[in-house]
Amino acid sequence: MNFVKAEIVEENGASLVLDTLGFGRVRTDKPKAFLRNGGAATLGIRPERLRVLWDNASAKFEIAGKVAERHYFGEITHLIVEIPGLEKPLSVTETNDFGADDIPVGAPVRLAYDPEALVAMAD
């Protein structure tokens, strides 16, 4: 699981608006058990919910970074991607159907994500 520090901008019923340095401003569902503890929060996103964007592909929600590590595991490749503004790099699991195993360390990459995959947790 990737964890990203966030600041709560707005809490409105069943949703939260949060600011992050890497993902920018995002709106996500507020978990039923969410108990606010000040203005800080953490967003979690699973490695398989981040997808590499190939060539000229684009997504409504995407972030860009650089591959710091690459680990080949047969059907999948596990990438460690540094994103400007984030304290820790993101872990990305990508199938090798599209050539993830050929992405060199140091290569720039763009990652697509679905805001619904971001899970808010109180700090």
Q: What's the CATH fold of domain 2-122?
A: OB fold (Dihydrolipoamide Acetyltransferase, E2P) (2.40.50)
6-51 confidence digits (pLDDT tens): 999 998 888 899 998 888 899 988 887 777 777 888 999 999 999 9
Task: Identify whether the C-beta of residue 90 lies closer than 8 Å to the C-beta of residue 81.
Answer: yes
If one compares 4 and 21, the residue with the highest pLDDT of the two is 4
The pLDDT value recorded for residue 123 is 66
Name which of 34-43, 64-73, 77-86 the model is least confident about.
Answer: 34-43
E-strand spans in the chain?
2-12, 15-20, 24-29, 40-45, 51-53, 62-73, 76-82, 90-95, 108-112, 119-122
Residues 80-105 have a mean pLDDT of 90
Task: Identify whether the C-beta of residue 1 lies closer than 8 Å to the C-beta of residue 45.
Answer: yes
Taking the CB of residue 92, how many other CB atoms lie within 10 A of it? 27
Chain centroid to Cα 98, Å, comes to 20
Q: What is the pTM of this model?
A: 0.87
The pLDDT value recorded for residue 7 is 93
